[in-house]
Each structure stands twice: as structure tokens, then as C-alpha cells.
Homo-oligomer: A and B are copies of this chain.
Amino acid sequence: MQRRAEIPALGSLGSSARAVVRALLLAGPLSRAELARRLERSPASLTKITRPLLDSGLIQEETAPLSESRGRPGAPLTLDASRHRFIGVKVTAGEVYGVRADAAGRVEASAHRPLVDVKQGTVVGQIVHLVKELAEPGPVQALGVGLAGQMSRFDRTVRSNAYLGWDEVPLARLLEQATGIPTVLSGDARALTAGVQWSGPGRGLSDFAVLTVGVGVGLGIVLEDRVLAGPTGKVGMLGHHRVSDSGPLCTNGHRGCASAFLTTDAITRGIGVPLGRTDLDLETAFRLAEEGDDVALRVFADAGHALGVLIAELVNILGLPAVILAGDGLGMLAHVRPRMDAALAEHLDPNATTPSVVPFTSGFDEWARGAAVVACQWMLVDPPSPALEPA
């Protein structure tokens, strides 16, 4: 058995070694010859690149040869993803969620802590507590934090966050100083999308969108294998996107916008108010629909219509072959799917290819897991990110 401490950190690798690690993480065991084809290098280069990785124990050569067709079988190289740990944190309304995941995005541990206020010190303190709790066994290579709001891919500063009331807070540096772990920030929808792409239902797809439904409506887009950051971090502002000329008002007073049909609040109030039950919850709403209640059926039909229209717009504009649905409001899918499919078919351009619409049920952990994946990707970007700033 090899000593674990000797394995080098992913962040310390050269650019070609990173490319090899990325390929191995993405596509399992691969022979040198296969890697050479994928990375568009010569076989000679792959011998050279993989040697130090094998020597350091970062990758291993499997004994069972990979025999396909005739000719000498390739020696499969593997990377033991479980030896590289990352922590992901998602900051929400009143809570901070965190997970520890390996390089393959598998969750090893999760935890959460309440957020009593949004003062800098409180939030940083709670994140640090959470990280220390999760970091326990073995070294952690990087920490990713997902926050609502506009930030670039691999950001270091919260520039302006309406929800937290923050302005120019160097959160990554503060967390690095407190934890000693290299830290990146990312938009939460972007992080979720990265998680879906790296090790969720988006794995292997080079182009897709993630549409989330819950407290709000969110969007993440992957084009040509890259998660879109948006020019100003502002991708997917479709919460108040108009979906119908009629319909209810949203909380901002817009008629017929996506939020007015799709958020948990819109659904519970849409059903609860006409029935005089102001504190109706989603489960009750589902039950009412199953019992054939007229109001519930109409509200879910409208939600399905809104969802179908949003998907059609995405596909018409971007030509996406797949759309993944996620978020804690996804439970309604069973009730809205027929109407969603109908609206999608109706609004899709006749020349566009019908996308596959894939539901992805997940809890709040998935947002944190996405942040962990972002941290891992950060360690593997080319060109390498600047090293941890001196504390």
C-alpha cells in the first residue's frame, strides 16, 4: 500500500498533465494510445507526460489489459479519484450547505449550518466551521463556494450581492486565510450546472441547459463543453421572462412571467388563495391535483405550459439537444409534464430537433456538490490559476 501523503496536488501539475487528468476523470480508464488520440498528441508525448504521473502515484497502470480488436492491447491508466478531496459550499437564505466530494464528484460527507444573519463575519464564520467539520479525514485540495448573483467563472470577490447586502467582499481570500485551503467563488446556478456536467446527468453531453425550479427559476447553459458564465455573469435571467400574455402577476407585478407560474410560492398561492387556504404547501397541492381539483389542475397546467415555453425558447435560440430539469420544485413534474410536452411541441421551431428533457431530482446537497466540482475544475484549468495568495 502506497503512502497517501506522497500524491501531488492536482493544482501543482503542468498543463499537459492536467489535460491527462481531465481526460481520465471524464472518460475512465484510458490507454496511452487512446489519450494521445483524444488530446491530439503523439504517442511519444504520452509516454513522456504519463511517466512522472505514474512515478508519483497519481495515476496507476491497471494489470488487466484492454483488449479490443487485434494488435497489442493497451495498458489502461486510471486515476483514483477518491484520493483527491474537495469541499463545496452553497450559501442560501437562512442556511449554509456543504459537502465533501472526491475528484469524480462523489459525495463523501455533507453537513449544514443555520445562518442567523448575513453579516460578513457571521457568514464567513459559519462557512469556516462547516469546512473544518467536513475537512476532517485527509487533506482537501480546494474549496468552492456557490452564491446567488453575478460572478465570473472562478471568481475571488463578491462584487455586489443584493441578497446578502454585500459589496466588494474578498470572500475567497478571507476563507483562504481562515482555512488554509485554496478557494474559488462561483455563481450558484453555474456551480450546479458544472456538477451536472461533470458527474450528473449531463456527463458526456457537450451541449445542454439546466433549468431549475423552486424558490426561483434558474438557468445554466453548457455550450461546446464549456459552462457559460455570461458576459457580465448575467446568464439566465429568466425569472421574469414573459411566458404568456395573460396569467397571474408575479411578486414584481409582471403579468405572465415565468416566476408567476413556476415558483413554489406561485403554485401554493395560485391554488391556496382561491380555496381560501393561505398556508397550503406543495404536498397538499399535489394531492389536490391527484384528486382532480379544478383549481390545482389549472395551476399545474399553466406551470407545465410555462415550462414548455421556456424549454422551447432555449432550444430554438441555442439548438440544444438536451435540457435537464432540476431544483426542489421538480416534484411537480409528474403533474405538469403532459402540458409541458404539449407547449414544447407547440412552440418549438419546426426545423429544430426535439430535445430530450431529463428530470434530475436532487436536494440542496446538489448545489453544494456543484461548488465542489467547480473547485476541482479550478485546479485543472489551463492555463493554471494563480496559486494560493500568501496569508
Contacts and interface: CB of A to CB of B under 8 A. Distances in A.
A319 B351 contact: no
Nearest to A229: B224
A350 B244 contact: no
Leading 6 A-B pairs by shortest Cβ distance: A234-B319, A207-B231, A237-B349, A230-B319, A237-B352, A240-B349
A279 interface: no
Interface residues of A, number: 46
Given A245-B244, A245-B246, A349-B240, A235 B317 contact: yes
A349 B350 CA distance: 27
Interface in A229-274: 229-242, 244-246, 252, 254
B207 A237 contact: no
Interface stretch (A60-68, A84-92, A175-183, A308-316): A308-316
Nearest to A237: B349
Contacts of A351: 234, 237, 239-240
Given A40-B383, A242-B347, A244-B245, 6 more contacts: A219-B317, A235-B319, A237-B351, A238-B349, A240-B351, A245-B245
Given A237-B351, A349-B237, A349-B239, A223 B228 contact: yes
A46 to B, nearest CB: 18
A25 B233 CA distance: 28
A238 B317 contact: yes
Interface in A345-369: 346-347, 349-353
A318 interface: yes
A321 interface: yes
A320 interface: yes
A390 to B, nearest CB: 23
A317 B319 contact: no
Contacts of A206: 231
Nearest to A244: B245
A193 B242 CA distance: 27
A79 to B, nearest CB: 26
Given A235-B319, A313-B317, A350 B228 contact: no
Nearest to A233: B319
Contact of A350 (B40, B240, B316): B240
Contact of A316 (B221, B237, B318, B352): B237
Nearest to A219: B317
